[in-house]
Amino acid sequence: MEISALFKVIASALEAQRKRMNVIVSNMANAHTTRTAGGGPYRRKDVVFVPEEVVEGDETLSGVRMLQVVEDPSPFKVIYNPGHPDADSNGYVRLPNVDVLEEMVNMMMSLRSYEASISALNTYKGMLMKTLEIGR
C-alpha cells in the first residue's frame, strides 16, 4: 500500500467534516435571521457527500468529498408577533427552519467523525514509526 494513498483518504475525511462543520455553524448563527438578501428568512443548509477514489500507483482506495451544499426544503416556523419588523399584514413572522438542538447533534456527529479520522491518522503514523524501528 502506498503511504500517501492512506494519508489522502484520511485528509479527504478531515476536509469533508471541516466543511460540514462550517455549514452547521452557519445554520446556528442564522437561527433567528428573518430577512436575507434573497428575501425571506434564512433557509437551513446541509452537505451532500460522495465517495471519491484515491489512486496511487496500482492501489485504489475510497475517500470522501463534499459534492454540494443544499437547502433544506422543510417549511419555515411561523409565529404571531405583530410588532416584529418582518411581520406580514396578519402579524405573523416566518422564522428560519433551523432547529438549534438538531444542529448541535449534527455538530457532535461531525466532531466524532473528525476525531475518528485523527485517531486513524495517529494509528497509521504509529505503525509507520514501528516499521522504521524494525529496520534499524
Ordered by start, the domain boundaries in the chain are 3-134
C-alpha to C-alpha distance for 122 and 128, rounded to whole angstroms = 10
Whole-number average pLDDT of the chain:
92
Write down the residue that cell numbers 475525511 correspond to. Answer: 13
C-alpha to C-alpha distance for 43 and 22, rounded to whole angstroms = 15
- What percent of the chain is predicted at pLDDT more than 70? 99
C-alpha to C-alpha distance for 65 and 49, rounded to whole angstroms = 6
The model carries a pTM of: 0.86
Q: What does the pLDDT look like over 38-96, one tens digit per residue?
A: 889 999 999 999 999 888 777 788 899 999 999 999 999 999 999 999 999 999 999 99
Q: What does the pLDDT look like over 95-135, one tens digit per residue?
A: 999 999 999 999 999 999 999 999 999 998 999 889 888 87
| Residues counted in the chain | 136
